[in-house]
Amino acid sequence: MTPIDTQFLRETLQRLLQVPSPTGDTGRAMELCRRILSDWSDVLEIEMSPKGVLTAAWNGRKTDAPRAVTAHIDTLGAHVAEIKPNGRLRLSQIGSYDWTAIENEGVTIQSPGGASWRGTVLFANESYHVHPNDDRVDQKARTQETMEVRVDARTRSRQETQALGIEVGDLIYFDPRYEENNGFIRSRFLDDKACLACVL
């Protein structure tokens, strides 16, 4: 049996994780997979369907019992649901996750026009000492209405944020935070990009 090329596996996984691919925005990640598979184009029949499904057929000695392995590349993310009066962003989820899972996460806001900004997901009114008359921050529910993105720019109004090129509907990518330690890999989006790396 041929041993698994663990260096290729790790490097491929890291490359996959570094390309944002929330549901509905998987084109760049699929193109990366196509490029990786093209290294074996002498034995693979590679095709991309009109809907963006990538297949690679590897002909065997027999054709009476074809087999397939699959993996998905789309991940979780968010859209800009609203630019709030204070210039911060309300999010709309892509996928389903608990709001507590993204608190304090670094993000990239990407507009179709090419504008790209960094930011942080925060609980609105997040600080005790800034909002001393508010209820205890740690006991408040994290919801779409109480979480927001603070853009890394000097903006304090909806108009100033829009002037940056940010609009409702723009995509928000969560940082993968890839890390290797003690033989383990820790990252967001290991489901299902780790499976995809194994398939590749």
**Per the structure block, which two tokens stand in for 82?**
């609203």
3-class SS at 106? strand
Rg value, the chain, Cα: 21
3-class SS at 179? strand
H-helix segments, the chain: 6-17, 27-37, 158-163, 190-199
pLDDT at residue 11, rounded to an integer:
96
pLDDT at residue 114, rounded to an integer:
87
Q: Rounded to an integer, what distance in angstroms lies between the CA atom of residue 35 and that of residue 41?
A: 10
pTM of the predicted model as reported, rounded to 2 decimal places: 0.89
pLDDT at residue 139, rounded to an integer:
74
Calculated CA dihedral for residues 195, 70, 49, 188, nearest 10 degrees: -20
pLDDT at residue 79, rounded to an integer:
97
pLDDT at residue 138, rounded to an integer:
66
Q: How many degrees, rounded to 5, is the angle at CA 71 between CA 189 and CA 9?
A: 70
| Below-70 pLDDT ranges, the chain | 126-138
